[in-house]
Amino acid sequence: MPFSMGPALLFCPADRPERFAKAADRADAVILDLEDAVAPDAKQSARENLAAHPLDPARTIVRINAASTADFEADLAALATTPYRTVMLAKAESVEQVRQLPDLDVVALCETALGVLNCGGIAAEPNVVGLMWGAEDLIASLGGTSSRADDGGYRAVALHARSTVLLSAGAFGKAAIDAVYTAIPDLAGLATESVDAAASGFTAKACIHPSQVAVVREAYAPSEEAVVAARELLAAAETAGTGVFQHQGRMIDGPILRHAESVLRRAGV
């Protein structure tokens, strides 16, 4: 089924059940995390929390541990006791790993060099509903030390991975989810990155703190002026008929009209 959970996805450690409902109230969807956010000695209790503290399955993703780890099978066993059927596969690296989840909707988290290189094939799998990328694990897999330069922008290799995941998702009609912004107090930087994500075609952006949700939502919500302009452009297209035409000094063709349609979709029109 298509991914339609909204633009602001909030990670919540699965070993903190007192936060589950609060996260669900604040975000468009919650990613209950069984992987990096949970210490090894807390993973079993985190799995038990999935069934003991239920959320709306239509607005919940469970991040499970990588298929290469011993925790993978235990995560799947815990998941089977819940109504959750959308998972985020951490460190997804191959088609074969995704095929181990045939009855689940999978968001493949491509956050290693191998995962990024194989993300096209992964996106083509029928049960994959989306791709996400991760900068920090990617750089770690390369032996690097930082995904960002001194000015706060991503290094070239991180931008390449981001674009590759976005293109692969788009090529197969799957959702693309942008990586988290780790500098929590820097809401201005998050806003800039979220606006770029929305304009580039990312379906959603993951958040690691509730304060980030409103910023992401605002970035994805078209302004009133943009909605009016999109309506006027599409109305002009109906008057002009088919083919290329001019509107307010611009050449307008099919791709520009699809941009306008995307604006109205984001506005809920």
Give the tens place of pLDDT for each residue, 196-229.
999 999 999 999 999 999 999 999 997 777 888 8
185, 83, 180: which is closest to 135 by C-alpha? 180
Whether residue 81 is found in the same domain as residue 140: yes
Residue 230 confidence (pLDDT): 83
Task: Check whether residue 46 and residue 126 sit in a common domain.
Answer: yes
H/E element, 197: helix 187-200
Mean pLDDT of 97-106: 98
Same domain, 238 and 205: no
Q: Residue 103 annotated as binding?
A: no
Q: Give me the pLDDT at residue 235, please.
A: 86
Domain residues for the domain of 230 are 224-267
137 is in an annotated binding site: yes
Q: Are residues 141 and 19 in the same domain?
A: yes
Instruction: Name the pLDDT band for 2 (thresholds 50, 70, 90).
Output: low
Residue 111 has pLDDT above 70, yes or no: yes
Query: Final residue of a domain: which of 220, 235, 258?
Result: 220
pLDDT at 106 over 90: yes
Residue ending a domain, choose from 182, 200, 220: 220
For the cut 90, the answer to whether the pLDDT of residue 52 exceeds it is: yes
- Least confident segment among 15-24, 176-185, 217-226: 217-226
Same domain, 127 and 248: no
Q: Is 231 annotated as a binding residue?
A: no
Tally of structural domains, the chain: 2
Where residue 208 sits, what CATH number does that domain have? 3.20.20.60
For the chain, give the mean pLDDT. 94
Does 204 reside within a domain?
Answer: yes
